[in-house]
Structure 1
Amino acid sequence: MDIKQLRFLVALDETRHFGQAAARCHVTQPTLSMRLRGLEDELGLHLVTRSQRFEGFTPEGERILAWARSLLAAQDGLYAEAASCRGQLVGSLRLGVVPLAGFNPMQLVTLFAERHPSLHFQLFALSSDQILERLNRNQLDLGISYLERLDQAHFASLPLGETRMGLLHDRRHFRFPGASVTWEALATLPLGMLSSGMHFRQSIDHALRSRGLNPAPKLETDAVHHLLQGISAGLCCAVMPLDSGLGESADHLTLTPIDDASTLAPLGLILRLDAPRSVLGEACFAEAEAMLCAVHMPD
């Protein structure tokens, strides 16, 4: 057994496709399949359900996959720890961010990149539940997510402030006379919304229901760029974070504040506490804390 076989196994889980897993690992598909069969022979277990395509992992495969992730995380942690002992941070910092976060993650990425030129960055748009799950499985080093119901025994958190909301609209199709808009006025508009179940959508639904309002969305999607396309086409308006920068993303877009509008829970930077700890995550978390304290960001 070698570490590459474990990387092949994890890549197959993340892509759910033999060809894509092989491309990610920079090998041919026959090579990847042969090495995985070699791992199965060595362990005496059937790990992958195959036909003409990938169909999933066997129960035994799921258990071995969990060990593979732990071993790969330990290897990555070993190299990162050695570099840290030399006063360096190297490798890839994996950061999960909830959709429509009211905090620009590039503030942190830019800080880390300036201080540690050898670092690379991987950003993933994920739900709050997915971020916690991937932190638990060592698939992320840090997360930017909502702090509601966060288990403080297993995660450290750094509040990034309240996410205030505004209405993003295209001035070519919609115009509002005041400096802000009320929820009551917003409920009469064709609205584009993220899919139900996402925290940002839940905050919008709560604000509307608490005022006795129940508008039917004109457009629902799990992708922010689809909302932006709908807004630019004049199909809808959409509630967005005020500090997202989306109001400056195009000349014809405007982000108008909504009266008394913020998400149900504050946003925060999250670090897993359980061993094995991410050296990169730990170091960057500490630097983020120092930066946020220095600029007196809201808590």
Structure 2
Amino acid sequence: MLFRQLEYLVALARERHFARAAQACRVSQPALSEALRKLEDELGVLLVRRGRAYEGLTPEGERIVRWAQRILADRDALRDEVDALRTGLSGRLRIGSVPTASGAVPLLTGPFCTAHPLAAVELSTDLRADELLRQVRDFEINAGLSYLPEQGTEGVRTVPLYEERYVLLTGPADGLAGQPHATWTEASRLPLCLLHPGMQGRRVLDGVFAGLGLAPAPRVETDSVGSLFAHVRTGHWASVVPYAWLHVFGVPPGMRAVPLVEPVHSTPIGLVTAAREPGSVMARALREVARRTDLAGVLGALPKA
């Protein structure tokens, strides 16, 4: 019963709505509310602010929900560990990724599934970097592919995977398309389609441009890497995309991928997992796959058009 009560509390903290939390837990709203009241009685503290609707957790509730997340994560890790000892690794590996790194995920999930044929994988590939870190720390996902944080790594461990480098993606009619490389200054003068400014991948590009004293104003902004390719395909726009995505789409017909120089910029991408011992057996297995897989070698060469 305690585990169920803790699951309800974590769901309510995540959904911030009684009905949605009940739906996520597949119980009725009165059953969820009653279970949480019993938990409050057992602990002797008020956990939830109640009015006509959910008004948030109390300070005590915020503290308890952190413990609940850890307890439930350890329970799940114990179950996975026992299953792995008995029949081999099974269960579900939950992976998150920032959009710009999602093209590299199959290079890990492929060998992971080969090594552990009884395991399944669940992917979320449109997470922002800060949300990915939160989900790893809150044990909502086992691991994530993201930009390696320069700071704020408390509670997580990282495995470097590769350096994200950048190309100018443009149409063949553009004057830069036939050059062996293009500068960031030249790219800034083109009608650009870029990622949304709230995304880490866009902030990296803005930082490079700003370091050169440039402030390009993209005509189109999107939250999808695939949408960048689709817009360039029309012939109206150019874009700056990671090398890694050329290994997903190649260099599509009617486009050119020109390496960007002055500067040649790169940003480290890595695997992020919770820093708990013994931690999730799923996360440990994926880290082992990551250490054996040469993503830098695979993603380092620019495919030909």
TM range (shorter): 0.7 to 0.9
Alignment correspondent of 1:100: 100
Distance 2:266 2:287 in 1: 24
Given that 2:162 and 2:269 are in contact with CA atoms closer than 8 Å, whether structure 1 keeps it comes out as yes
More divergent stretch after superposition (264-273 vs 153-162): 153-162
Distance 2:139 2:224 in 1: 25
Distance 2:36 2:14 in 1: 15
Distance 2:248 2:103 in 1: 14
**Pairwise CA distance, 1:268:** 1.5
Distance 2:275 2:138 in 1: 12
Distance 2:236 2:157 in 1: 41
**Pairwise CA distance, 1:192:** 2.9
Distance 1:94 1:35 in 2: 27
Aligned partner letter, 2:130 = D
Aligned partner letter, 1:118 = L
Alignment correspondent of 2:293: 291
Distance 2:117 2:51 in 1: 45
More divergent stretch after superposition (173-182 vs 55-64): 173-182
Aligned partner letter, 2:30 = P
Using a 3 Å threshold, how does the CA distance of structure 1 residues 56 and 227 change in structure 2: closer, same or farther? farther
More divergent stretch after superposition (226-235 vs 90-99): 226-235
Is 1:123 paired with 2:142? no
**Pairwise CA distance, 1:83:** 1.8
Using a 3 Å threshold, how does the CA distance of structure 1 residues 85 and 242 change in structure 2: closer, same or farther? same
Using a 3 Å threshold, how does the CA distance of structure 1 residues 229 and 5 change in structure 2: closer, same or farther? farther
Alignment correspondent of 1:275: 277
Alignment correspondent of 2:163: 162
Q: What is the aligned residue count?
A: 297
Q: What SS does the aligned partner of 2:101 have?
A: coil
Q: Which runs of 5+ in 1 are unaligned?
A: none
Alignment correspondent of 2:84: 84
Alignment correspondent of 2:186: 185
Using a 3 Å threshold, how does the CA distance of structure 1 residues 86 and 27 change in structure 2: closer, same or farther? same
**Pairwise CA distance, 1:81:** 1.5
Using a 3 Å threshold, how does the CA distance of structure 1 residues 51 and 255 change in structure 2: closer, same or farther? farther
Question: If the length of structure 2 is used for normalisation, what is the TM-score?
Answer: 0.80
Alignment correspondent of 1:111: 111
Q: What SS does the aligned partner of 1:27 have?
A: coil
Using a 3 Å threshold, how does the CA distance of structure 1 residues 293 and 102 change in structure 2: closer, same or farther? closer
Is 1:143 paired with 2:137? no
Distance 1:263 1:9 in 2: 44
Alignment correspondent of 2:39: 39
Equivalences for residues 199-238 of structure 1 within 5 A: 199-222=200-223, 224=225, 227=228, 236-238=237-239
Aligned partner letter, 1:115 = A
**Pairwise CA distance, 1:116:** 1.8
Given that 1:160 and 1:269 are in contact with CA atoms closer than 8 Å, whether structure 2 keeps it comes out as yes
Identical aligned pairs, as a percentage? 35
Given that 1:246 and 1:255 are in contact with CA atoms closer than 8 Å, whether structure 2 keeps it comes out as no
Given that 1:5 and 1:36 are in contact with CA atoms closer than 8 Å, whether structure 2 keeps it comes out as yes
Question: If the length of structure 1 is used for normalisation, what is the TM-score?
Answer: 0.82
Alignment correspondent of 2:303: none
User: RMSD of the alignment, in Å?
Assistant: 3.4
Aligned partner letter, 1:57 = L
Given that 1:191 and 1:219 are in contact with CA atoms closer than 8 Å, whether structure 2 keeps it comes out as yes
Alignment correspondent of 1:194: 195
State the Cα deviation string for residues 126-164 of structure 1 (Å, max 9, x = none). 333333333333333222122352678865433222112
Aligned partner letter, 1:192 = C
Given that 2:247 and 2:299 are in contact with CA atoms closer than 8 Å, whether structure 1 keeps it comes out as no
Using a 3 Å threshold, how does the CA distance of structure 1 residues 25 and 295 change in structure 2: closer, same or farther? same
